[in-house]
């Protein structure tokens, strides 16, 4: 379908509703009891394998692009599909996980495999959700066995789906979070788009304990807070709010992306605020210096 080809995610319709439907499906996974491990089937539309409520693998019926396609396209020029198929045959013969053999063979890196799995699983979840199908049955698995390096929280997949057309913003946000985050704090990035009623998740720290519904609530709170601050200081760029003297929310804006962090200790929020304030001061001084040079030059 032409609309699918535009989306950058061939199997997902280019439709803003996919954010709502995917959120609904991922919320359902987060609402499962703690420790849930098994297979969640969605009628004939697809299947999601879960381990401790982390998504290990998802597949949607009639997906136009599979994991191997994504992996092949990671390299330039693309890897021949036959190489992937050969690894797949070997992993079945040797009873070794496919991902492990891919990485040990040097065909993909660990980072590349994780990125490909995130893309594949996000695409599958989004595609399943588009059919508005509720889970039809669940099979519990007693054994776990997925490599924790390659499983995803619902929040991580939501960011992948929301930013399916915008790798650049995702990279900027992930880089920024990597630079500023501190111990005992977990952060995420979001943006406001005119076509979406809710803030869109751009990136989230790996293994964040913050649920998707909480991420949305925090983003909404932060957005409202910065709207209110325009009354007395439209340049407000950093905000924090302390709960019970120790835990806190911190939110800030750099460029067009907004960020928020949940801090579980007082030192964490203090250190994060200090880092952000220094960055703000440095940006302000740099902007002033540029303006002064421009004025002198004219």
Partner 1 sequence: MTGEMKAEGEVTYALICLRTGVVLQVLDGKPSNARLEGLAQAAPELCNSNETADFSLLFARIGSDGRSSHFSEHTLVSPDCVHVIERLRDRPDVALVALGPGAVHLGIVLSGIRRKLRELEVV
- Tell me which residues touch partner 1 (CB under 8 A): 209-211, 213-214, 217-218, 220-221, 224-225, 228-229, 231-233, 235-247, 249, 262, 264-265, 270, 273-274, 276-278, 280-281, 284
User: Looking at beta carbons, which pairs linking 262-270 to residues 24 or more positions away fall under 8 Å?
Assistant: 262/185, 262/186, 262/187, 262/210, 262/218, 263/182, 263/184, 263/185, 264/184, 264/185, 265/184, 266/242, 267/184, 268/182, 268/183, 268/184, 268/185, 269/185, 269/240, 269/242
Q: How far apart are CA 147 and CA 205, in angstroms?
A: 18
Q: How far is the CB of 230 from partner 1 (least distance, A)?
A: 9
CB of 253 to partner 1, least distance (A): 11
CB of 231 to partner 1, least distance (A): 4
Cα distance between residue 58 and residue 45, in whole Å:
11
The distance of closest approach from Cβ of residue 65 to partner 1 in the complex, given in angstroms and rounded to an integer, is 36
| Shortest CB 290 distance to partner 1, Å | 14
Q: How far is CA 63 from the centre of its chain?
A: 21
Of 44 and 256, which has the nearer Cβ to partner 1?
A: 256
Cα 205 vs. chain centroid, distance in angstroms? 8
* CB closer to partner 1, 124 vs 210: 210
- Of 32 and 101, CB closest to partner 1: 32
The token pair at 248 is: 């806190």
If the CB atoms of residues 278 and 289 are measured against partner 1, the closer one turns out to be 278
Our CB check for partner 1 shows the closer of 5 and 282 to be: 282
- Kindly provide the residue ranges of all beta strands, DSSP E only, lying in the chain, ordered along the sequence: 38-42, 46-51, 54-60, 137-140, 185-191, 200-204, 238-243, 247-254, 257-263
76 versus 235: smaller Cβ distance to partner 1: 235
Rounded-to-10 torsion of CA 139, 103, 203, 184: 90
Nearer to partner 1, 73 or 264 (CB): 264
The string of DSSP letters for 42-98 reads ETTTEEEEEETTEEEEEEETT-SS-HHHHHHHTSSSPPPHHHHHHHHHHHHHHT--H
Q: At closest approach, how far in Å is the CB of 62 from partner 1?
A: 37
Nearest approach in angstroms of CB 197 to partner 1 is 15
């Amino acid at each position: 379908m032409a609309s699918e080809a535009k989306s950058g995610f061939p199997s997902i319709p280019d439709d803003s509703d996919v954010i709502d439907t995917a959120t609904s499906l991922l919320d359902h996974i987060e609402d499962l009891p703690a420790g849930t491990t098994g297979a969640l089937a969605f009628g004939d539309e697809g299947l999601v394998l879960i381990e401790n409520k982390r998504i290990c693998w998802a597949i949607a019926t009639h997906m136009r692009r599979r994991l191997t396609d994504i992996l092949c396209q990671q390299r330039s020029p693309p890897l021949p599909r036959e190489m992937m198929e050969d690894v797949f045959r070997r992993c079945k013969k040797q009873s070794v996980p496919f991902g492990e053999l891919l990485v040990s063979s040097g065909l993909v890196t660990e980072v590349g495999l994780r990125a490909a799995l995130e893309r594949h699983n996000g695409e599958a979840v989004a595609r399943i959700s588009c059919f508005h199908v509720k889970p039809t049955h669940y099979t519990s698995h007693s054994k776990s066995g997925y490599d924790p390096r390659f499983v995803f929280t619902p929040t991580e997949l939501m960011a992948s789906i929301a930013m399916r057309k915008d790798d650049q913003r995702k990279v900027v946000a992930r880089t920024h979070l990597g630079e500023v985050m501190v111990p005992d704090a977990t952060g995420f990035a979001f943006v406001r788009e005119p076509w979406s009623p809710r803030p869109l998740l751009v990136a989230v720290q790996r293994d964040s304990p913050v649920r998707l519904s909480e991420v949305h609530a925090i983003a909404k709170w932060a957005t409202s807070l910065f709207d209110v601050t325009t009354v007395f200081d439209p340049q407000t760029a950093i905000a924090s709010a302390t709960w019970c003297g120790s835990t806190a929310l911190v939110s800030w804006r750099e460029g067009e992306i907004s960020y928020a962090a949940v801090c579980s200790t007082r030192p964490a929020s203090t250190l994060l605020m200090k880092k952000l304030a220094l960055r703000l001061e440095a940006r302000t001084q740099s902007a002033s210096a540029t303006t002064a040079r421009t004025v002198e030059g004219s």
